[in-house]
Amino acid sequence: MNRLFGTDGVRGLANTDLSPELAFKLGLYGGEIFKKTGNGEFLLGRDTRLSGQMLKSSLAAGLMAAGLNVIDLGIVSTPLVAYLVMEGNFSGGAVISASHNPYEYNGIKFFDTDGFKLTDDEEDQIQKMIDEDLVLEKNTFDKIGSLIDGEDLVHAYEAYMRSLARTSFKGLKIGVDCGNGATYKMAPEILKDLGAEVVAINTDPDGKNINASCGSTNPDLISKLVVEESCDLGFSFDGDADRLIAVDEKGRVIDGDHMLAIFAKDLMTNERLSSKRVIGTVMTNMGLDDYLRDLGMEVVRSQVGDRYVLEEMLRGKDSIGGEQSGHIIFLDYNTTGDGLATGVHLVNAILSSGEKPSVLNDMVKRYPQVLVNAHIDNKKKYSYMENDIIRREIEKIERDFGQTGRVVIRPSGTEPLVRVMIEGKDQDLIDQVAKKLAATIEDQLK
């Protein structure tokens, strides 16, 4: 039995892997869990994909058949739904989106009554009911749910977003790549409301062009726009706007690691840090460790994935955490990454510092990183540490590097690959070490 739920909900090819029939069952059986908490109302949003309307109709039908009233928020970001669920007394929420993937894919992400993604146990309960095709006692006609317009709630989130700004953004020129995704209207409008001059691209979604060579996974576009339009800063969003890649006035990328440094210093300066920890992942560059160490702080690394960052933040009651990819979580404000909120917080930090974005971007001196894929039998990709030769070579590399480098081994979740990441100060050395280790893994696990 294959697990339906991945690290970020259910995802697959629309109308094939993720069909209307499956969406209905996810709503019907998921509704059995959601209706046990909250006020019986369930928030539902989607991004701009062609399949979004189809899956929304099916998911909503399942939820209403389970007895929940479904509030249709329309085209909105993932963090908007998470925030509204967290702030209200709703039974839960869902977003129909495949994030940064191309339009032919779609997904369904659920949030519980507190705005957190479902636990593995809750996901397993839903899958068990689907796999067993459990026959539920049907609600009578007077106990089914209704579909309700949620425009007022969207306006409430917009007001919240404007409230995050500490001062006017007047005088700033900001370039924005909306990726033809969920923020195609809201992001430019909010930034303009806050006083910024905005130059926006990829704001004309047609159902098929979401993330199409644009958005946060294609930062060359926003870099070019910022330079050509002489902007002070640039923002690039992915399809569901839970992540942000920024660029400075020189068109250089400010990725998640650099943003974590900027935010940590800003929060410390304004006495808003709840701990001396910043949560990253195993891919977080060691340059961030060096910078934060000088501030009396430390990087704590989780597995790759924003849900794992969040789990570690909750354990340590930490204020800030995130990934290189631009998922940044401000736990005092939301339960998930919020690209637009991250952008507002970044402008706050820049204006508060009195420095140009490029100066703040240069605070972290990055260590070179190299990633090499070892191609192996798919059945063996999780057993690399059981091989004595591979294990001893990894241990030797770690001893040789000491505090000046790292080895990160990650089996691919979808391909017959083991990814070898080496980080250190000498680019030529880490290239050689990574290739040698990948070759050893291939030879031993062929």
Q: Domain for residue 436, yes or no?
A: yes
pTM of the model: 0.91
Last residue of a domain, one of 151, 177, 211: 151
159 lies in a domain?
Answer: no
- % the chain with pLDDT above 70: 99
Written as one letter, the residue type at 7 is: T
Q: What is the pLDDT of residue 151?
A: 95
Based on the domain organization, do 287 and 380 belong to the same domain? no
Task: Please determine, for residue 304, whether its predicted confidence score (pLDDT) is greater than 90.
Answer: no
Q: Residues 69, 188: one domain? A: no
Q: Which of 151, 186, 207 is where one domain is finished?
A: 151
Contacts by residues 297-304 (CB-CB < 8 Å, ≥ 24 positions apart): 297/264, 297/268, 304/410
Give the lowest-confidence range in 128-132, 379-383, 435-439: 379-383
How is the beta sheet containing 320-322 ordered, strand by strand?
298-302, 277-281, 320-322, 328-330
The answer to whether position 157 is within a domain reads no
Contact 246, 254 (CB under 8 A): yes
- The answer to which of 114-128, 286-300, 407-421, 431-445 has the lowest mean pLDDT is 407-421
Spatial CA neighbour of 161 closest among 180, 187, 195: 187
Q: What is the rounded distance in angstroms from the CA atom of residue 175 to the CA atom of residue 413?
A: 35
63 and 147 both lie in a single domain: yes
200 and 349: one domain?
Answer: yes
Q: What percent of the chain has pLDDT over 90?
A: 87
Among 340, 361, 382, which residue terminates a domain? 361
The C-alpha atoms of residue 430 and residue 15 are separated, in whole angstroms, by: 44
Q: For residue 326, is pLDDT > 80?
A: yes
Does 158 map to a domain? Answer: no
Residue with tokens 């340059």: 287
Q: How confident is the model at residue 413 (pLDDT cuts 50, 70, 90)?
A: low
pLDDT at res. 403: 82
356 and 426 in a single domain? The answer is: no
The number of domains in the chain is: 3
Asked if residue 1 has pLDDT above 60, the reply is: no
Q: What is the pLDDT of residues 46-81, one digit of tens each?
A: 999 999 999 999 999 999 999 999 999 999 999 999
Are 374 and 316 contained in the same domain? no
Confidence check: pLDDT of 2 > 90: no
pLDDT at 99: 92
Gap between the Cα atoms of 9 and 412, Å rounded: 18
348 and 385 part of one domain: no
pLDDT for 136: 82
End-to-end CA distance of the chain: 26
Q: CA triplet 367, 373, 376: central angle to 5 degrees?
A: 150
Please give the Cα distance from 286 to 405 (Å, whole number). 8
Residue 147: CATH number of its domain: 3.40.120.10
pLDDT(446) > 80: no
| C-beta separation of 439 from 376 below 8 A | no
Rounded to whole angstroms, the Cα distance separating 331 from 267 reads: 12
In tens, the pLDDT along 142-169 reads 889 999 999 999 999 999 999 999 999 9
Q: Which of 400, 46, 385 is nearest to 240 (CA)?
A: 46
In a domain, 156, yes or no: no
| Residues 6+ positions from 226 with CB-CB distance below 8 Å | 175, 233, 234, 247, 248, 249, 251
Do 87 and 146 fall into the same domain? yes
Residues 354 and 394 in one domain: no
336 touches 241 (CB < 8 A): no
- Domain assignment of residue 182, yes or no: yes
Q: Which residues are identified as catalytic?
A: 99
Average predicted confidence (pLDDT) for the chain: 94
- Full residue range of the structural domain in which residue 110 is found: 5-151
Mean of pLDDT values over 228-240: 97
- Percent helix / strand / coil, the chain, rounded to 5: 40, 20, 40
For residue 431, give the CATH number of its domain.
3.30.310.50
Instruction: Classify residue 169 by burial, with Cβ atoms within 10 Å: 0-12, 13-18, 19+.
Output: buried
Helices (H), 1-92: 20-34, 52-65, 78-87
Lowest average pLDDT, out of 173-187, 196-210, 305-319, goes to: 305-319
With respect to residue 84, please indicate whether it lies within any of the assigned structural domains.
yes
The pLDDT-based confidence of 414 (bands split at 50, 70, 90) is: low
Asked if residue 349 and residue 221 are part of one domain, the reply reads yes
14 and 125 share a domain? yes
Phi, psi at 177, each rounded to 5°: -110, 110
Average pLDDT over residues 289-306: 94
Region 408-421: mean pLDDT is 84
Residues 199 and 129 in one domain: no
On whether residue 384 sits in a domain, the answer given is yes
